[in-house]
Structure 1
Amino acid sequence: MITANARAVYGPSDPFKATTIDRRDLEPHDVLIEIKYAGICHSDIHTARSEWRQEQYPIVPGHEIAGIVTEVGSKVTKFTVGDRVGVGCMVDSCGECENCRKGEEQYCLKGSTMTYADIDKYGQRTQGGYSTHIVVEEDFVLRIPEGISLDVAAPLLCAGITTYSPLNRWKAGPGKKVAVVGLGGLGHMAVKIAHAMGAEVTVLSQTLRKKEDGLRLGADHYYATSDPETFEKLAGTFDLIINTVSAKLDVNAYLSLLALDGTLVNVGAPAEPMSLNVFSLIGGRRSYAGSLIGGIRETQEMLDFCAEHNIGSEIEVISADQIDEAYERVLASDVRYRFVIDISTMTA
């Protein structure tokens, strides 16, 4: 076994504590990664606090992982020691079902294995990137291109692919009007990527507090959703709306902003159920959809796209001892725009 320093939470209202965890010895197709940076995702908070389901503790969160390969198994062909790599939200899938064969492992019909708070094929609970090392099967390791530093690359492994995938799937590009709901960890990546794809980008945020940032990141327009006139002025405007917020919204109001055949895609995952009036869809042949991260192939495509367009996450680097504070600041929308843990600070 390989011993790694980590930060774990032991209950839904407990603070993080320093601990050590065991990583498995390398199988022939495994890669050992020394983690350099790990992003903090809102999903980490939902999971650590058992807001989506009742979790088993302790939990080491973290699925935005960037680091360096330090050892490879005897049959590994994709990576060598010293490679710059990343790990995202999943670390395994069946590899045999129809969805896996299509490169959509996140929709594995037998259930993909999540990077943390899941059970792997060895019967062990997975623990994530708030740790110094991780062992992952090579097919679920991503190559981080030169030109993207590891700290700004880490959030791309969730926030980047979570927004890239629906923008790619619904063909954001020249001639398309795209709105992004929320300018947070996900939203700011959606703005950067949609802009790089050539779309006309509008940010829909509660207030105009971040308007200057939004325009700097690539938005063409910025509106406050707290202003009722916004929904009147923009009715029937957008081809695609990416909803990035993890809060309950008036779905019907946002559907009214879609043009004919437009689509509203949810990538934020609020704990509360949301409802809609079917007439909000029928009237404009509109669609309401969801999207979950992306497959390994598409995630690599996203990383290459970001390298080509010089896109990284806007980050604030913190120490391992600041995780609890960072969680509270995420909930207060007091981060621009992603916290990233410097794993070198993660002493036992």
Structure 2
Amino acid sequence: MRMRSTEESAGQQPECEQRAAELRAELDELLSASRYAGQRERRLNEAIRAAPGRQRPDGDLLRQLAQARTLREGLGARCLQLSDQLQELENRLRQRRHPQQPPHPQQPLPAEPQPRQAPPPPPPPPARPDLGALTERIIGLHRRGAFPEAEELLNQAAARLAPTDAALLVGMLSQRGPTGASLHLARTAAGGTPDHAVAVLAELRELGLAEEAAELFHTFWTHPASAVPTLLAALERAGQHADRATLLWEWGSAPAPELTSLAACLQQHGRPADVRTLLRQAAGRPTADLAGLATELPPALATLLLHELAGLRPPAELVRLATALEAHPDLYRQLLDALLADGSRHRTTLAALRSAGLSTAPPGAPRSRWGRR
């Protein structure tokens, strides 16, 4: 029986070696095709970026780019499958070429191990969407007046497509789709996870789709305060620091309750630099608004705001602010502390406060017999 098993193994080995050679040849061909698809994708990207004045990319270029990406990713997934199969086959061949030595005759033979089950084959790569067919389907629904169905299809595309595919579909719709479809898709993409939405934004800009990118970014402004810290973190991770600053600048003009809510959320998420930037943007509001904002902010943030104001606003406006805060002794003291911390710089402001009959004495200092000084 042992001799027969050896003969069977010897007969199977050439067959395994032939199969391994076939896999190597197929893998080499696929790797070559994958490199070519990657080169074509790079050339198409360069052609789109080279459009004069960053005008909208040509629809045919967008379709070719989508096809090249689909081909490259499919080839890459197939290469991984073949590589795993080849590695498993080569491991079996090495075991047959170098079998374990049989134990000494005087020693009892160990129990034969249970045959190992072959690992399940890797799952096939996910099917890439046909963006051209999806575009035609959306156009067809609009032509038939099936607007709710077309909108639902756009919503599904925004939720399910990868950022690169979502941006390509936006580009195709901007060229051939119904009016407003590309903008709707861009707006809807802003409602995904922060990282996904930011990635779509970057892809839209890379394709020169400035109007749709602006639509997506403006939708960020409608997010509730609780969602903004994670959105800012996603912009930071993507290197979109200008967008992060712009978003905080927009929030700086939000109504006081919403701005207060955002400042508290940023503080809870451990983003002190964003809190400072937000309050610095808010420092440009009218004096009456600033007094109301200071009363609504938590004490630590109110102190930070007042210190920012002391360094940014002219003496006349600081006097008006101090007058509005006189009914709130704690806030008035915080503003005064900020001015007295650099008395030489704020000499004019302190003199203006005294002229207005407002106290400039540091907290705890004895009051002048001549009144407020």
Whose Rg is larger? Answer: 2
TM-score (norm 2): 0.21
Question: Which structure features the higher share of strand residues?
Answer: 1
Higher relative contact order (CA 8 A, sep 6+): 1
